C-alpha cells in the first residue's frame, strides 16, 4: 500500500494546495499525484512544474490521473514527457486512465506508447 499526496480538485484552484502536498510528502506520503492539468487548473505548465518539483524535492514517484480527451490530453502527455526526460525520471511516472489514447488516431497512440516504453512510464486504467 502506498499513500499518495493527491490534489483531487486540482493544485491551483484553491490557495495552499501545493503547500499541503509538500507537507503530506514530508509526513510520509510516498507518491506525488496530479490530475487533469489543463481542464482542472487551466495552467498545465504550472500544474506540472509543481508536481514534478515536489517529486524532485522529495525523491518521490509521480502518478498523474488524466481524463482529458483527445488532443488536449495529448498536449498534457507531451508536457509530462518533457519533464520526465528533463528530470531523469525514467521509471518513476505512472499515467492513470489516459483517456486521450482512446480518442486520437492510431499514429498518435503509437507515438505515445512508444515514448512510454522508452521512458518506462507505467499505465493504470479501468
Give the mean pLDDT of the chain: 97
d(CA 102, CA 83): 23
pLDDT bin (cut points 50, 70, 90) of residue 126 is confident
Count CB-CB contacts under 10 A for residue 110: 10
Phi, psi of 82 (to 5 degrees): -55, -45
Phi, psi of 30 (to 5 degrees): -100, -15
Specify the pTM: 0.96
Amino acid at each position: 500500500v502506498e499513500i499518495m499526496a493527491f490534489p483531487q480538485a486540482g493544485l491551483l484552484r484553491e490557495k495552499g494546495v501545493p503547500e499541503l502536498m509538500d507537507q503530506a510528502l514530508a509526513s510520509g506520503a510516498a507518491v506525488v499525484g496530479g490530475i487533469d492539468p489543463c481542464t482542472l487548473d487551466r495552467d498545465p505548465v504550472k500544474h506540472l512544474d509543481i508536481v514534478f518539483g515536489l517529486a524532485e524535492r522529495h525523491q518521490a514517484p509521480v502518478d498523474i490521473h488524466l481524463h482529458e480527451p483527445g488532443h488536449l490530453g495529448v498536449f498534457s502527455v507531451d508536457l509530462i514527457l518533457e519533464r520526465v526526460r528533463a528530470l531523469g525520471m525514467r521509471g518513476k511516472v505512472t499515467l492513470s486512465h489516459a483517456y486521450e489514447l482512446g480518442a486520437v488516431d492510431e499514429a498518435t497512440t503509437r507515438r505515445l506508447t512508444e515514448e512510454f516504453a522508452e521512458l518506462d512510464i507505467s499505465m493504470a486504467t479501468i
